[in-house]
Amino acid sequence: MLNNNSMKHTAGLKRAGELKTRIQEYLDIEKTIKTGFRMKERNRINKERILKYFQAKESDWNNWGWQMKHRISDVNTLKALLPLSRAEIEEIQQVSQEFRWAISPYYLSLIDPDNYRNSAIYKQAVPDIKELDDDSGYEDPMDEADTSPAPTITRRYPDRLIINVTNQCGMYCRHCQRRRNFEQKDTHASMANLVLALDYIRNNIEIRDVLITGGDALMLSNSVLDWLLSELDNMEHVEIKRLGTRTLVTLPQRITPELCSVLSRHEPLYINTQFNSPLEVTPEAKKACDRLVKAGVVLGNQAVLLKGINDNAHVMKKLNQELLKIRIRPYYIFHAKQVKGTAHFMPSFESGLNIMENLRGYTSGLAIPTYIINAPHGYGKTPLLPNYIVSLDEKELNIRTWENRIISCENVPGSEEELFVAK
């Protein structure tokens, strides 16, 4: 018996050595991946420089109203805070004529001023001349205008829908699927249209899941959010509410104790956010998440796969692992949509599938989101997966594992749940 145990121990050590070899490449590269926590001292210095420019105090910085009021949306202010070249200034001015932009002081503080052109933060926030060179995209690639049965509502599925409540955001992402709604002015949906949207939900009892988004749902006041969620709470057929927000990334100061007190009254409540880079996972974001979790809110991330920002297996793995540390569950990786002005962000499908290949088996299942393409014209989300099924018939399933081993599994006939039993 001892000899048998010794053999098993030896086999276990050999297997552990194989697994360590498989992850060594990531461990070597992981040390070089910058995160919001690793860059917190640099970000602090950037914050002090921005506060000095605005002649503001720490208390101002922590006030989300101050952050919104001081969003950077003109090139002269940006030039004072980043060492832009004359050519870059002219290009930003050109893009500004067609596409609106704005960056919260907090999000700007995450940019490395010494290497801003290569920053994942800069690329998401600052206009690029390539936005004007794109003739391949669509204003409304998801045909939201044609899937709106009532004001502010988008409906693509049998049991759930979206209420678009505002066009306002803490920062206007350059890859946004709704950039057609940026316009030149922040506008919330009218109360009259919100009432009509609620009436539609009330009269369609198959709707069990409602997503409030925009723009950014948390740009609404606490009182309007409380009213809207209360109305949904009073509809027996509405089982869950979701809020779409990027404030955890671009404006964590919005997550105040007062807001959390409101949200805590409306369980079950889910927040879907969008972290795209490990640089965005900061101590400030963690503080916001801690408050939301204590308020009973469930947090999930819907990253967008963006060329030159996160279309790298190691970067995406690090992002997802950093998110779990602040209690956000990676939920989706969205393949970037074909939005007019965003072609330079479009990755290949191969890059997305390669990322999935390098997540499955190489990190915990909690850190593996579903890779999704939104079917054009509003036909919904479709998961994309590497092909793990080699063959399947009545007798046998042959699978490819994450290590590229081919394994045969017996197909049990007559089983109601189509169970597979490994040989």
**Quick one: angle between helices 313-325 and 349-357, nearest 10?**
60
Six token digits for residue 40:
């917190």
Q: Before 215, cis peptide (omega within 30)?
A: yes
What pLDDT shows up at residue 414? 60
Per-residue pLDDT tens for 360-385?
Answer: 999 999 999 999 998 887 788 999 99
Q: State the amino acid at position 238 in one-letter form.
A: V
CB atoms closer than 10 angstroms to residue 119:
21
Per-residue pLDDT of the chain (423 residues; tens, 9 = 90+): 557 778 788 988 999 999 999 999 999 999 999 999 999 999 999 999 999 999 999 999 999 999 999 999 999 999 999 999 999 999 999 999 999 999 999 999 999 999 999 999 999 999 999 999 888 888 777 778 888 999 999 999 999 999 999 999 999 999 998 888 887 789 999 999 999 999 999 999 999 999 999 999 999 999 999 999 999 999 999 999 999 999 999 999 999 999 999 999 999 999 999 999 999 999 999 999 999 999 999 999 999 999 999 999 999 999 999 999 999 999 999 999 888 889 999 999 999 999 999 999 999 999 999 999 988 877 889 999 999 999 999 999 999 999 999 999 999 876 555 544 444
Longest Cα separation, the chain: 79
Quickly list H helices, 264-326: 283-294, 313-325
Percent of the chain with pLDDT over 90: 85
Per-residue pLDDT tens for 269-310?
Answer: 999 999 999 999 999 999 999 999 999 999 999 999 999 999
**Residue of 66, 63, 70 lying closest to 256 (CA atoms):** 63
The pTM of the full predicted model, rounded to 2 decimals, is 0.94
Six token digits for residue 366:
């909690």
Alpha-carbon gap, residue 330 to 45, rounded angstroms: 30
Alpha-carbon gap, residue 313 to 351, rounded angstroms: 8
